[in-house]
Amino acid sequence: MRRRAQSVLALASLLLGGLAAAPAAQARPGPAAPPAGADALTAWTAQVTTEQVPLLLEAGVDGRELGERPAAGRPARVEVQLTGAQAEGLRAKGVDLVEKRLPQRTRERLKAAGDGVFRPYGGKNGLSQEIADTGRAHPRLTKVVSIGKTVRGQDILAVKVSKDARTTRDGARPAVLYMSNQHAREWITPEMTRRLLHHYLDRYGKDERITRIVDRTELWFVLSANPDGYDYTFQSPATRLWRKNLRDNDGDGKIAPGDGVDLNRNFPYKWGYDNEGSSPRPASETYRGPAPASEPETRALDAFQKQHDFTYAVNYHSAAELLLYGVGWQVATPTPDDVLYKALAGTPGNSAIPGYRPQLSSELYTTNGEADGHAANVNGTMMFTPEMSTCETASAVDPADRWDPSDCPSIFTFPDDEKLIQGEFAKNVPFALAVAETAGHPDRPSSPVGVDAPDFTPHAFATSYARGKDQTVAVTARKSLGDKRLNYRVDGGRTHSAPLAAWGGGDRYGGDDNLRFDQYRATVEGARPGSTVSVWFTGRTREGGRTASRPFTYKVAEQPRADTLVIADEGGGTPARQADDYVRALAADGREAVVWDVARQGAPPALGVLSHFDTAVWYSGTASPDGATLLAVRDFVNEGGKLVAAGVRAGGSSRVGDADTDDFAQYYLGAGSRTSYAAPSRFTGAGELTGTTAALGTPVAGAYTPVSDLLPPETFPRFRSAAAGEYTPAARTASPQSVTLREEGGGRRLAAAVTTRDTALLGFGLEHVPDARQRAVLIGAALRAIGG
């Protein structure tokens, strides 16, 4: 049963126009600003390396706000918001932080230069009063409601804009939500939503497009999803960079940097999936709260979404200059609805909002418990997150004006300049209107940049290892199509056809983010080695017309039968040199193997090749594992495959798209952190590999802290992992070269191998084991340890 999102009797006066005084009357007095000299949040800058980014995330920095991500050998300049104590802790770990301090004269000049545009939520002339005034000024087009209370008792107000808003039943028209200010310091975002509200109202009856949208659509505006925190940022310079709500975490009656909950990490979907996308520590800027939906602000938005069944939503944030959509909890995870998201958001070279880069939410960093994922997968609402411009970008728009990028106290302090604020708003309007227009036909986007959302997007591949067995093929297709079918020809023969079925997903992902599009699968039967197969997909539109995909062609490889795939990923473009070591070792253990050489063949297709094996051995020599191969192997493990990964740099970072990430190493291979171990002489198995031993001949090997040493398995059972061997002589933990998942961890013995339920990770390759018999025993034990 739906919970009541509004108390009708209590809010009757609000809806009838008596709203203006209500919020201030019901709210508790705001907390005092920290006393002079208190350790407040301030802005700091640093040039950081790939290895230092995890230290920032541990300190509670939101990865999305870092903007640029460093690459191997290329540091990036970042701004972070920290207390003095947090900054000193990072400095002690080698991060060269510099506090952004403006001279008093500059601060006074900037304050005097401001136009007075930004204002608090509560109090006289605040945003809540403007909302009430707007409702009274437009009685036919608006309805004002409170969707719930903040932690300090303020009403969170929402405005409905639609023709005959008060007399037309909520939900009678397709609904769109525009919301902002989940994070208190992002002042430009409520100004964006406020101006958009007036843009619709002021142009109704004058602008044909606006009038049509308002007549046919139910538009809702939540100017501040965090009124308490927003008001707090106006109290003094010491509170200006506050991010969270005003939950008094320690109950001492004061608000300090250890208080508050990040409202964009508090939603139930994927809440607490790991400690990188959100934090369990109250002092962190991404503190997720003590429980899912622990905060009244979160519960209010969740109930509001459930009541109104929004088709689309836009959740304004700042200041990363991105246009985010899709999966946030796991790196580089495309989903079916991305077809729609991309059509509306555009591409990096053709963005729907000039200056903002459209991309998957997790392209650079992960989040969990955020509003977007919950909206889509719990409440059926496709949500975008525009990250608006930085202070520096806005200050550079007009070199002749009074704003200079060097004067910016922080990326979040957007200039208090009417012209610049209006310009930032104006470039967002076409996207906002396109989203509203799409609500009436939600799977047929009104793209503002001319990007199509095709009925079918085949998951094409060029090579199949089916060898006369069935070959699964997949396509992303519009759910509303009827009679969706696979069609194929083998060697130019007659056309075969089979119905498509929706894929339910794998062990960890798939089956989500599929509101309007989904992944469908069927099987090609009977193609023999050497055959060429042409594949295409067909269906019927709502209007009854036929639609078809472009065809793709694959060839069934003429390979010997094998039960294990060896993925040779030695780096560079030269053919694999060590693959025979693996094939012979597997043969000595009674297994038949075939080699896939990444240098010659590219990444192995997950469906075309990997799906025909129960086990795979992926070795990378001394190179970083290939990013495209990593994604294919992740798909393989997600659908039940068993994997042995081996190599000096296996279990560390890989370049996936624009990011260096060890997400797969941590959460699939069980390597919480990786460091280099110099010249080990011997490997001795432990845990699942007890009884194995091997002399080694390598100048360096990989050593690991298992994830379960860092994330307790009773809390994170999905990531359960264990040490499975050590080197001689044994080492103690050094500075890890990738993410350490919690602050503790010094002094642990490093593991030379790690096992999980599905994977075994070796910090060296079989080519580093001179004895052929030891190679065979080791690889066989590793496969048996994971049921391979």
Q: Which of 297, 387, 424, 767 is catalytic?
A: 387
How far apart CA 571 and CA 627 sit, in angstroms, is 11
What's the length of the chain?
788
How far apart CA 103 and CA 228 sit, in angstroms, is 30
Query: What are the residues facing 518 on neighbouring strands?
Result: 477
The SS3 assignment for 557 reads coil
Taking a C-beta distance cutoff of 8 angstroms, is the pair 639, 783 a contact? no
User: Which of these, 168, 47, 27, 163, lies nearest to 96 by C-alpha position?
Assistant: 47
Q: What is the maximum span of the chain, computed from C-alpha positions, in angstroms?
A: 85
Taking a C-beta distance cutoff of 8 angstroms, is the pair 617, 586 a contact? yes
Two structure tokens written together for 336: 């079916």
Strand order in the sheet with 564-568: 593-597, 564-568, 615-619, 642-646, 759-762, 753-755, 722-728, 682-685, 693-695
Taking a C-beta distance cutoff of 8 angstroms, is the pair 620, 647 a contact? yes
Report which residue type is found at 741: L
Based on the residue annotation, tell me whether 392 is a catalytic residue of this protein.
no
Two structure tokens written together for 444: 């047929």
Two structure tokens written together for 466: 């089916």
Taking a C-beta distance cutoff of 8 angstroms, is the pair 381, 325 a contact? no
Residues 6+ apart with CB under 8 A from 508: 330, 638, 718
User: Which of these, 44, 43, 62, 41, lies nearest to 53 by C-alpha position?
Assistant: 62
* Start-to-end Cα distance in the chain: 46
Residues 6+ apart with CB under 8 A from 277: 265, 270, 286, 328, 329, 365, 366, 367, 368, 369
Report which residue type is found at 228: D
Taking a C-beta distance cutoff of 8 angstroms, is the pair 351, 384 a contact? no
Two structure tokens written together for 716: 């994170």
How far apart CA 625 and CA 640 sit, in angstroms, is 21
Neighbouring C-beta atoms of residue 10, cutoff 10 Å: 12
How far apart CA 596 and CA 604 sit, in angstroms, is 7
Report which residue type is found at 506: G
Taking a C-beta distance cutoff of 8 angstroms, is the pair 238, 33 a contact? yes
How far apart CA 421 and CA 418 sit, in angstroms, is 5
User: Which of these, 773, 720, 729, lies nearest to 752 by C-alpha position?
Assistant: 729
Give CA separation, 115 vs 230, 402, 620, in Å: 19, 12, 59
Neighbouring C-beta atoms of residue 578, cutoff 10 Å: 15
**Cα-only R_g, the chain:** 28
Residues 6+ apart with CB under 8 A from 548: 456, 536, 537, 538, 539
Taking a C-beta distance cutoff of 8 angstroms, is the pair 289, 361 a contact? no
How far apart CA 435 and CA 217 sit, in angstroms, is 11
How far apart CA 246 and CA 748 sit, in angstroms, is 38
Residue with tokens 């880069």: 357
The SS3 assignment for 707 reads helix
Taking a C-beta distance cutoff of 8 angstroms, is the pair 650, 597 a contact? no
Catalytic residue numbers, as ranges: 387
